Amino acid sequence: MTFWAAMFSGALFLLGLGPFVPWLLGFLPRHAARLPLPFRLASRDLADDRSRTAPAIALTMIATALAVTITITEVAETAQQRAQYHPQGRPGALIVEVFTDDGAAAARTAVRHELPGVPIAQSYRPREHGHFSLGIGNVGPSETESVDPSYLIGDRALLHYLTADASTPYDENTAVVVTTADAEVDRVRIHYDAPGGGLPPAGGDTALSGKTVPAITVRPGDPRVNKIFVPAKVVRDLGFQLAPEKMIIDPSVHRVSAAEQERLDRRLGDSATTYVERGFQPSDRWLGLVGTLIAFASCGALAATAPAAVGARSRRVLRRVGGGSTATMRLFAACRTGLGTACGTVTGAVAGSVAGRMLAWPMTASADWEPIERAPFDTPWWTIIALSAGLPVLTAAIAALLPPAAPREHA
C-alpha cells in the first residue's frame, strides 16, 4: 500500500502538482484584493520568494496526499476484513491449539496449573488419515444449506460450550446438530473408510462404509456457530483413534484475562498456541505512519514560512498600518504560515482523495478462487476536511508563538 501510494504521489509531483505550487503562489496575490490586509501581504510575500517557499509547500502537499491516500485505503481494507472475519469461538473463549500428543499433555497440565478448577472442553480429530464425513438425515434441501457440514468431535464439556447451556442433554451415542436453522434432525449418517485405508477410489464412494447414529437439534450459544457435534465414543467405535486437537475454556464458566493468557503463553512455550476470541480487532499500525506524514507536512509548511524573514516591502506596509508592533508581526506570520500550509494541504487532500479512491478497489480485491463480495465503506471525508483545515490553523498558531522574523534587505 505504501509503495503504491508513494508511486502515485511521486507521479503527481513529476507530472504537474509539483510545478503547480509555484503557479499557485503567483496566482494568489493577483486575486487576493478582497482579503484582509495581513492575508494580502502574506500571499505577496510567499510569491516574492517562490524559489524557497515552493519546494517546502510541495513537501506539505505530497505528505498530505500520502496521508489521505493511506487513510482511505486502510478504511476500505478494514471494512473488507471486518466483513470477512470469522470468529474461532464464542466471545471471550480461550482456545489452546496443540500440535503433538506430548504437547497436548503438557498444555493440559499448564492450563490446569494457571486456571485451577476451571473445566476444560476438549475437541479431537481422527488420528488416521482415512476418509471421514457426515451427512444429515431428514432435512429438506433449503434447510440443509443453512447447516454447516463441518463437525466437532468432543466430550460433554465441548457440547455445553457450543450451546452455552449446561442443561443440554448429552448422550455418548447421540450426535447433536447445533444450528440456528429451524430443522428437526433425527439422525446423522457417518461416511468413512477403514482407518488407514486412504481416500476412496476415484469415480465413486463405493468403498466407503457408513453408520447412522441418532441425533437431536439444539440452538447454539452463538448464532454464528453451526456445527455437528459427534461424541468421541461414536468415532472410537468406528475403529478410529483420536488425537487431541483443541482445548477450550468456556467464557460462561471463566473469562480469561490478558494477564492469565500471558502467563499461560510463557508456560506453554512452543508446544501450543493460545487465542482469546475478542471479535474483530482492526489494525492501528498505519496510524503511526499517517502521524509521521502529518508531521512532515507541518515541518514543510513551517520551513516555507515561519523561519523566513519578512520582505522589506511587507514590513514597510505593516509599520505604516500597525506601527510595526510585535503583535502585528505575529499576526502577519500566522497569516503567512496558515496560507502557505493551506496551499499544500488542500491540494494534497484533493490528490490523496483521488489516489485513495483509485487504490481502494485493488487493495480490497479477493485473491481466493471464489470471489468475495466487496464490503461497502464510508470515505472518511470529515477526517480529510479536518486535516485540510486543522493543519493550517495549527501551523499558524505555532508561527504566531515564534519570535518575529528579522527584515530581509532585499525583497
Q: What does the angle CA 193 – CA 199 – CA 204 come to, to the nearest 5 degrees?
A: 85
Q: Calculate the average pLDDT of the chain.
A: 76
Take residue 400 and report the three cell numbers written for it: 504566531
Q: At residue 32, what is the residue type?
A: A
Query: Where does residue 140 rank: exposed (0-12), middle (13-18), buried (19+ CB within 10 A)?
Result: exposed
* pLDDT confidence of residue 381: 92
* pLDDT confidence of residue 32: 59
| Strands annotated E in 29-178 | 94-98, 121-126, 132-137, 151-154, 175-178
Domain boundaries, the chain: 2-85+282-401, 94-276
The backbone torsions φ and ψ at residue 75, rounded to the nearest 5 degrees and listed phi first, read -65, -40
- Residue ranges, the chain, pLDDT below 70: 1-52, 128-131, 133, 135-149, 194-208, 304-326, 328, 367-371, 403-411
For the chain, the distance separating the N- and C-terminal CA atoms, rounded to the nearest angstrom, is 44
* pLDDT confidence of residue 15: 59
| % of the chain beyond a pLDDT of 70 | 69
- Per DSSP, what are the bridge partners of residue 97? 246, 273
In terms of phi and psi (left: phi > 0; alpha: psi -120 to 50; beta: otherwise), the region of 16 is left
Model-wide pTM > 0.85:
no
pLDDT digits (tens, 9 = 90+) for 193-235: 755 554 444 544 445 677 888 888 888 888 777 788 999 998 8
* pLDDT confidence of residue 75: 92
Angle in degrees, 0-180, between the axes of helices 381-401 and 326-363, rounded to the nearest 10: 150
* Helix ranges (DSSP H) in 115-248: 141-145, 156-163, 232-237
Take residue 82 and report the three cell numbers written for it: 471486518
